[in-house]
């Protein structure tokens, strides 16, 4: 695996591969890699001749009071894992290599960014879409692979690529979970032992809510119960617990169409997000 941290070198290498007719799949990450990220790399390998994984903790997607400084940076471990997993190129630029001092351009997607993390983290999705657009321009991928773990992000990136006619196919990968159901996340490293044990309440309460919605319980009542279960189970606050259309992310009050339950909640100093499919009532 080749480690590249200069744009000029990346351009030469990718240009050469493209000339040879090789297809490229990009896996954007912020590092602190776990099995969830590696599942994306596996999928990328099945799609294209060359897999480029990027590791870049993107400052513009963090709010002023968020964890940009504390975010785990583990490049040596990430490099080893990506190498073992069969990635071909690790693109790990410094911030100064990515953003000019007077960087002036932002990509904003509306609609899919309304509410949920868009409300809880102002400016976050502008940071995400801008960096993903830049990473695609830098690496010229045929495919870009993202996790369903960040479902609103995935829907927003699909929308950006469609609206801007970007020549890349977006591929979503199912969320990888711990044995007890907690979604893998780089931020799980922040959890103390007690918090980690309590965090399992998130997927458990979500599954219960889905069951009750599919059993015909009103959606709002199921969501209130979900929030109550999280607060009783050791979470300090719930940013949101909502049912949304699985494609458009528009709010839903009943599960007649394919839907997604999306939740963000705080445990100690850590903010966890998760989402699950809610099949329409009457199906399956
Ligand atoms: P991050 O490093 O947190 O920005 O995540 C990089 C990519 O990995 C994003 O597309 C995430 O959705 C994806 N990802 C993170 N956690 C998981 C997981 N548990 N399962 C699948 N994909 C994940």
pLDDT tens-digit map of 122-135: 999 999 999 999 99
Mean pLDDT value across residues 115-119: 97
pTM: 0.97
Beta pairing, strands 24-29 & 2-4: unpaired
- Ligand 1 mutation target, pool 28, 30, 37, 272, most atoms within 8 A of CB: 37
Query: How many helices (H) and strands (E) would you count in the chain?
Result: 10, 9
Atom of ligand 1 nearest to the CA of 149: 12
- Respond yes or no: is residue 34 known to be catalytic: no
Closest by Cα among 248, 117, 188, 252 to 129: 117
pLDDT of residue 284: 64
In 3D, which of 67, 277, 76 has the Cα closest to residue 185?
67
- State whether residue 112 is helix, strand or coil: coil
Q: Which residue lies with its CA nearest to atom 13 of ligand 1?
A: 147
Question: How many CB atoms neighbour CB 10 within 10 A?
Answer: 21
pLDDT digits (tens, 9 = 90+) for 247-260: 999 999 998 889 99
Ligand 1 pocket residues where CB is under 6 Å: 29-30, 36-37, 39-40, 146-147, 149-150, 173, 175-176, 183-186
Mean pLDDT, rounded, of the chain: 97
Is 187 in contact with 272 (CB distance < 8 Å)? yes
CA distances (Å), origin 254, targets 173, 206, 217, 218, 280: 26, 16, 9, 7, 9
Atom of ligand 1 nearest to the CA of 40: 22
Which residues are within 8 A (CB) of 109 and not within 5 positions of it... i.e. 6 or more apart? 125, 129, 156, 159, 160, 163
């Amino acid at each position: 695996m080749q480690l590249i941290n200069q744009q000029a070198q990346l351009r030469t290498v990718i240009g050469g591969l493209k000339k040879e007719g090789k297809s490229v799949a990009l896996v954007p990450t912020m590092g602190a890699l776990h099995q969830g990220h590696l599942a994306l790399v596996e999928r990328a390998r099945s799609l294209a001749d060359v897999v480029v994984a990027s590791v870049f903790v993107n400052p513009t997607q963090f709010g002023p009071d968020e964890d940009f400084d504390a975010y785990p940076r583990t490049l040596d471990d990430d490099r080893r894992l990506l190498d073992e997993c069969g990635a071909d190129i690790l693109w790990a630029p410094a911030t100064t290599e990515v953003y000019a001092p007077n960087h002036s351009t932002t990509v904003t997607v509306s609609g899919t960014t309304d509410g949920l993390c868009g409300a809880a983290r102002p400016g976050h999705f502008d940071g995400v879409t801008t960096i993903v657009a830049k990473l695609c321009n830098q690496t010229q991928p045929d495919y870009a692979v993202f996790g369903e773990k960040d479902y609103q992000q995935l829907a927003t990136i699909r929308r950006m690529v469609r609206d801007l006619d970007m020549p890349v196919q977006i591929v979503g990968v199912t969320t990888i979970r711990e044995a007890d159901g907690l979604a893998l996340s780089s931020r799980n490293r922040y959890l103390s032992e007690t918090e980690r044990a309590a965090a399992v309440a998130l997927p458990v309460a979500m599954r219960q809510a889905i069951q009750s919605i599919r059993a015909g319980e009103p959606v709002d009542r199921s969501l209130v119960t979900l929030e109550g279960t999280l607060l009783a189970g050791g979470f300090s606050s719930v940013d949101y617990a909502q049912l949304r259309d699985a494609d458009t992310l528009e709010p839903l009050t009943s599960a007649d169409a394919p839907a997604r339950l999306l939740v963000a909640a705080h445990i100690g100093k850590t903010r966890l997000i998760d989402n699950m499919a809610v099949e329409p009532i009457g199906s399956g």
